[in-house]
């Protein structure tokens, strides 16, 4: 450290109620929660983050919050912490002041993790009861004090209704890295993500909401780096407040704000995929980067033997969200991203972990109740991934309003129906109806189900029709990783083909699955690239592939798939197809609810025996939306057939058997229904003549 006069704390301006490094007035307030620490040192670094200039003991502590105010410490100051306390792994305590620790509330980071054994609190090569004395600061990223001021141009949140929402799950880098029209210097960054070619594409296909894979700062796990791979998806969080620095061209958080402002001006909302169930520090044998060294026993769930982590996530640790100060950190992070960064909502990774209390998953757990009563968070878009790997973790349909949920049953049943599995009519009718068995309870709306057939985890949509088996060899695990439950069908050839008949069949099935997503009640979500016919070469676990396997191949984009998505999104909007209320039957019509009727290809109402006919692969849904009119949706997963239409004239709006999927042909009587296709029609209302 340089021989300089250290700055002095001003107790008169210090605050314990504002956690993190908050630039206030002409200085910065520093506050860190650690219930079991005996001393906390604030370390100030030069602007590069390489040289430690001062090491100052935070002078005050209240309720486990250590704090102090330093005048003249301005935005741009680089800092970290060293926390003193008992090193008693058998009691859950792993304090080691030799390890520089990242502030959990840091808004911006300087530097990156350089993997070295010094990052561990114990001595590598010995057990975790040993104590390592090496300084980890040279290998650690540091926090940066920021100025949060930004000109939002008095913008207001878009608040797109759930009934009008079309979600597009995307990766900041993967979306732009191989786009020929995005300036090369902007590819892989937020600035590239909101460049004109990307915005224009999203608007053309009817996207209202972009759901971004994790953008919180995350670690590239050591074992991946040593295999020349990376944690591409980002589900290994290091900081819940700071964005991932490689996505920023300048390294400054204002780039994220600029991107969100640009999306909003284009009428597109932004949802963040957030990972509050675990961190990148791994099990008790993992590294000490932040939470473990600050207060392991408070920030993490521990086993009965407190030396060991309690893991419900499959990552080595579980964040202890039931602890009031850890819960506060999570809530502070969510409010920060809404109020300061203007995001429109969140998708919670492994959300069941966030509801784990002493008796297991609790739908009324402290985390969920905290959000439901919060005046800021209860009004934004909230989506749960409703499962984890622990006992009782699968909870599809088990959440309360205002949460929506990823519905993997929609994915599986849709894939099985279009794969021509027998006996799927009942299941697909449930999915078209918004999955009422799962969601029509506890006053939940018909928009509770987020419907998808492909997401980042698993095959892309095109790969579900191109591969029977996963091909994950590039991941370096001898193809053992990734699940085998793909419900896929290569339709005659494994992988790419030059057989025109197979290619046509694949296109038909892809259009059929996309039509199912857009024509069902609930909220449609598509994976970025599925509208292009994008492939990952059969890799269904591309989490570590920061390369052409995962990047969207814009040069190989299929216009026929893209146009189908655009037509389906437009039809959904124009017909007012989506409803907040579940449909009733004509016999038990409820005022203010849509009315639905299920039709056999004969044109008659479906009978009990029809539903159990394992060989029947076509059915129709006649729907009367609340907004008026009638919509007829006809699905045929089988061979060419005919469908007897209800009386009157019908306008054929969608026919996925045709290359030109949007049309306006007037028909009556019988509809010729092509193999593996969907048709959507609206009733023609005779115009009243002049009198």
Q: 482: cis peptide before it, omega within 30°?
A: no
∠ Cα 8 14 18 (to 5°): 130
What is the full DSSP assignment across 495-506? S----HHHHHHH
The closest of 455, 597, 584, 445 to 523, measured between CA atoms, is 445
Structural tokens at position 561: 């798939």
**385 noted as active-site residue:** yes
The closest of 115, 84, 79 to 99, measured between CA atoms, is 84
What are the residues whose beta carbons fall under 8 Å from the beta carbon of 240, sequence distance 6 or more? Answer: 104, 216, 274, 276, 329, 330, 333
- The answer to whether 640 and 665 are in contact (CB under 8 A) is no
Q: Which of 344, 349, 405, 430 is catalytic?
A: 349
- The answer to whether 296 and 283 are in contact (CB under 8 A) is no
- The answer to whether 639 and 657 are in contact (CB under 8 A) is no
Longest dimension (CA), the chain: 98
What is the full DSSP assignment across 390-441? STT---TT-PPTT-EEE-HHHHHHHHHHHTT-TT-HHHHHHHHTT-HHHHSS
**From residue 95, how far is each of 38, 127, 131, 311, 341 by CA, in Å?**
10, 16, 10, 21, 33
Q: What is the rounded distance in angstroms from the CA atom of residue 113 to the CA atom of residue 115?
A: 6
- The answer to whether 22 and 32 are in contact (CB under 8 A) is no
Helices marked H in 557-640 = 559-574, 608-611
**421 noted as active-site residue:** no
- The bridge status of strand 167-170 relative to strand 523-527 is parallel
Q: Which of 385, 503, 531, 630 is catalytic?
A: 385
Query: First vs last Cα of the chain: how many Å apart?
Result: 95
The closest of 449, 456, 445, 404 to 431, measured between CA atoms, is 449
Which residues belong to the active site? Answer: 349, 385
């Amino acid at each position: 450290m340089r021989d300089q006069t250290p700055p002095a704390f001003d107790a008169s301006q210090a605050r314990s109620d504002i956690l993190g490094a908050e630039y206030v007035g002409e200085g910065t307030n520093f506050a860190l929660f650690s219930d079991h620490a005996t001393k906390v040192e604030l370390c100030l670094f030069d602007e590069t983050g390489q040289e430690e200039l001062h090491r100052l003991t935070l002078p005050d502590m209240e309720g486990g919050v250590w704090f102090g105010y330093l005048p003249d410490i301005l935005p741009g100051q680089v800092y970290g912490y060293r926390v003193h306390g008992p090193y008693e792994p058998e009691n859950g305590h792993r304090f080691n002041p030799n390890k520089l620790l990242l502030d959990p509330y840091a808004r911006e980071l300087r530097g990156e993790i350089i993997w070295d054994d010094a990052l561990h609190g114990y001595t590598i090569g010995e057990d975790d009861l040993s104590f390592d004395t090496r300084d980890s600061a040279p290998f650690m990223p540091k926090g940066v004090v920021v100025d949060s001021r930004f000109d939002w141009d008095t913008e207001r949140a878009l608040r797109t209704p759930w009934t009008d929402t079309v979600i597009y799950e995307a990766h900041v880098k993967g979306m732009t890295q191989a786009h020929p029209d995005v300036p090369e210097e902007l590819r892989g960054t937020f600035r590239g993500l909101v460049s004109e070619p990307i915005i224009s594409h999203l608007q053309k296909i009817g996207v209202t909401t972009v759901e971004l894979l994790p953008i919180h700062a995350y670690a590239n796990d050591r074992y991946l780096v040593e295999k020349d791979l990376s944690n591409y998806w980002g589900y290994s969080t290091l900081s819940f407040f700071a964005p991932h620095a490689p996505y920023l061209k300048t390294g400054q958080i204002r780039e994220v704000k600029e991107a969100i402002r640009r999306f909003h001006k284009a009428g597109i909302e932004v949802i963040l995929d957030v990972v509050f169930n675990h961190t990148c520090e791994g099990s008790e044998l993992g590294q000490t980067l932040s939470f473990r060294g600050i207060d392991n026993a408070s920030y993490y769930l521990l086993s009965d033997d407190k030396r060991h982590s309690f893991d419900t996530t499959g990552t080595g640790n579980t964040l202890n969200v039931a602890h009031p100060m850890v819960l506060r950190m999570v809530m502070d992070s969510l409010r920060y991203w809404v109020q300061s960064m203007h995001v429109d909502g969140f998708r919670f990774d492994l959300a069941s972990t966030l509801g784990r209390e002493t008796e297991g998953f609790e739908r009324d757990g402290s985390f969920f109740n905290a959000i439901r009563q919060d005046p800021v968070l209860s009004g934004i878009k909230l989506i749960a991934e409703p499962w984890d790997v622990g006992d009782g973790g699968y909870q599809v349909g088990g959440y309360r309003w205002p949460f929506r949920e990823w519905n993997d049953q929609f994915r599986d049943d849709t894939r099985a129906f279009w794969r021509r599995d027998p006996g799927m009519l009942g299941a697909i009718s449930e999915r078209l109806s918004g999955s009422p068995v799962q969601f029509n309870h506890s006053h939940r709306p018909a928009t509770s189900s987020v419907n998808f057939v492909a997401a980042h985890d698993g095959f892309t949509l095109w790969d579900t029709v191109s591969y029977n088996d996963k091909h994950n060899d590039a991941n370096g695990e001898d193809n053992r990783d990734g699940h085998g439950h793909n419900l896929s069908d290569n339709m005659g050839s494994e992988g790419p083909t030059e057989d025109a008949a197979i290619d046509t069949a694949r296109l038909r099935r892809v259009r059929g699955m996309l039509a199912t997503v857009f024509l069902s009640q609930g909220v449609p979500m598509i994976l970025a690239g599925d509208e292009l016919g994008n492939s990952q070469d059969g890799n269904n676990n591309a989490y570590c592939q920061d390369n052409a396997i995962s990047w969207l191949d814009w040069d190989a984009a299929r216009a026929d798939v893209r146009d189908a998505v655009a037509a389906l999104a437009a039809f959904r909007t124009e017909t007012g197809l989506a409803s907040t209320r579940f449909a009733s039957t004509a016999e038990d019509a409820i005022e203010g609810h849509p009315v639905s009727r299920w039709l056999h290809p004969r044109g008659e109402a479906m009978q009990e025996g029809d539903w159990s006919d394992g060989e029947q692969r076509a059915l129709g849904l006649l729907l009367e939306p609340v907004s008026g009119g009638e919509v007829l949706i006809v699905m045929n997963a089988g061979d060419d057939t005919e469908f007897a239409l209800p009386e009157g004239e019908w306008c054929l709006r969608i026919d996925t058997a045709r290359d030109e999927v949007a049309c306006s042909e007037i028909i009556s009587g019988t509809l010729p229904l092509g193999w593996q296709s969907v048709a959507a029609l609206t009733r023609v209302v005779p115009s009243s003549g002049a009198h």
